[in-house]
Amino acid sequence: MNGNTDNTEQIDLYGILGVEKGASKAEIKKAFHKAALANHPDKVPEAERESAEIKFKAASQAYEILYDDEKRQLYDTHGMAAFDGSRGMGNGPDLDDILNMFGMGGGMAGFGGPGGPGGPRRPRRSPNEEQKYEVSLEDLYKGKTVKFSSTKNVICSKCKGTGGKEDAKPKECATCKGQGFRQVLRQVGPMLTQEMQECSACGGAGSVYNPKDKCKKCKGKKTTEEKKQLEIYIPRGAREGEKIVLEGEADQIPGTSEPGDIIFHLAELPHEVFQRAGQDLSAKLDITLAEALLGFNRVVLEHLDGRGIQLKHPKEPGKILRPGEVLKVKGEGMPHKKSDAKGDLFLIVDVEFPEDGFFSDPQAAEQLQKLLPGPPPPIMTEVADEVQYDEDADIEEFGHGEGGEWVDEDEGGQAQCATQ
Ligand SMILES: [Zn+2]
Ligand SMILES: [Zn+2]
């Protein structure tokens, strides 16, 4: 097999449409209409549909290129290689787009008629509007109804989305010749590729009204802005990333049958006190040294709904709380969405030591010394050096001191380590 380039160069666009090389634009248009009619997939028997579709696409592409002066010249000089030869034929626009381009959508009703320029095909629904919605942990805990006013585009009630006065007829957009889009050739590396770009002159409609024929209400824009009160409900227990959908509240776009949805993606804001993991919560439990040793019975924190969480420690006399210990409070985590159940609350103990200089009274210090356990057994060595030290060192410095470069060398020399 030869490469793609050879294949595409052989494609004879004039032959596909059955016209002479010097054919006029009118002849090309006529030939395409004829080919389109003969091969319309809806008008041929089921068995021939596939081959008809291929022929139809080929004719469409031939027409696209030959009807455009700039592209026709490119084709005449470089062949199909000028049009993204790597993909060859069958890379044309969507079949439905072509049909609509010629007013042939909906069973070809408009085809062969007065030839009113139809717009390019629009999707059935207008696109969804997606946006982030930031929620506090409090609101996710309690659930919340949010009301807000939104400005949305709605189809103009006066012109029903045509953009023109009642009896006015639009004329073909001169910029895109009624296509609603323009093919732009773009250089990508050594290749020229085609891109579809919505026509800016007609906004993709393919037709425009004379200034005096424009609808007065929407000034030809086909839509008007409408303020609307919207309401979303954030269910209690909702999670980061969950979607809240307002069906059909997206902008209305002419040519679509129904509007899309507004979709909010919940984003949980960080909380000062609580961390969340699924339906569980965790928080720091700050206690004093005396409380760690002797216990306490007090409100240790304010929960997300404003309730105080009261804790009594120890449960049994003599139990001491140490830094890093974890107390689990069942049922005080986040609520589950569809039940009364809740996750758990994990409290991580942090002991606050007294301020420096707290033991200013030597007698009290002596008393405390007697009460607290003594020092650990001595470490017996032959030599002991009393050393100097820095009181406020940072563990971040660890490994970054003088001679720290060896760390990098080690990373590069792992093979050496491995053979040891
Ligand atoms: Zn209007
Ligand atoms: Zn246009």
C-alpha 155 to ligand 1 mean position (Å): 8
Task: Give the ligand with the smallest distance to the CA of 216.
Answer: 1
Instruction: Kindly state the average pLDDT of the residues 121-141.
Output: 86
Distance from chain centroid for Cα 189? 29
C-alpha 230 to ligand 1 mean position (Å): 24
Kindly report, residue by residue over 381-398, the tens digit of the pLDDT.
Answer: 999 999 999 998 999 889
C-alpha 274 to ligand 1 mean position (Å): 53
Amino acid at 291: E
C-alpha 214 to ligand 1 mean position (Å): 8
| pLDDT of amino acid 277 | 95
Task: Give the ligand with the smallest distance to the CA of 180.
Answer: 2
Task: Give the ligand with the smallest distance to the CA of 168.
Answer: 1
C-alpha 209 to ligand 2 mean position (Å): 11
C-alpha 153 to ligand 1 mean position (Å): 12
- The pTM (predicted TM-score) of the whole model is 0.57
C-alpha 175 to ligand 1 mean position (Å): 22
Say if 1-115 and 275-371 have the same CATH topology.
Answer: no
Torsion of Cα atoms, 66 then 69 then 71 then 77, to 10°: 90
Task: Give the ligand with the smallest distance to the CA of 206.
Answer: 2
Residue list, CB under 5 A from ion ligand 1: 156, 158-159, 215, 217-218
C-alpha 215 to ligand 1 mean position (Å): 4
Task: Give the ligand with the smallest distance to the CA of 198.
Answer: 2
Answer yes or no: CATH 2.60.260.20 is held by domain 275-371.
yes
Task: Give the ligand with the smallest distance to the CA of 215.
Answer: 1
According to CATH, what is the number of the domain 1-115? 1.10.287.110
At residue 414, the 3 state secondary structure works out as: helix
Selected residue with higher pLDDT from 5 and 352: 352
C-alpha 206 to ligand 2 mean position (Å): 5
| pLDDT of amino acid 406 | 53
Largest CA-CA distance found in the chain, in angstroms, rounded: 115
C-alpha 73 to ligand 2 mean position (Å): 22
- Residue 296's pLDDT band (cuts 50, 70, 90): very high
Kindly report, residue by residue over 307-320, the tens digit of the pLDDT.
Answer: 999 999 999 999 99
Q: Check whether 121 has a pLDDT greater than 60.
A: no
Task: Give the ligand with the smallest distance to the CA of 220.
Answer: 1
C-alpha 139 to ligand 1 mean position (Å): 42
- Residue 108's pLDDT band (cuts 50, 70, 90): very low
| pLDDT of amino acid 107 | 34
Domain boundaries, the chain: 1-115, 275-371
DSSP 94-134: -HHHHHHHTT-TTTTTTTTSS-PPPPPP--SBPPPEEEEEE
Instruction: Kindly state the average pLDDT of the residues 14-23.
Output: 85
Kindly report, residue by residue over 329-340, the tens digit of the pLDDT.
Answer: 999 999 998 888
Instruction: Work out the number of other CB atoms within 10 angstroms of the CB of residue 370.
Output: 8
Selected residue with higher pLDDT from 13 and 275: 275
* Residue 265: burial class (beta carbons within 10 Å; 0-12, 13-18, 19+): middle
| pLDDT of amino acid 33 | 81
Residue 411: both structure tokens together: 């990373």
C-alpha 34 to ligand 2 mean position (Å): 25
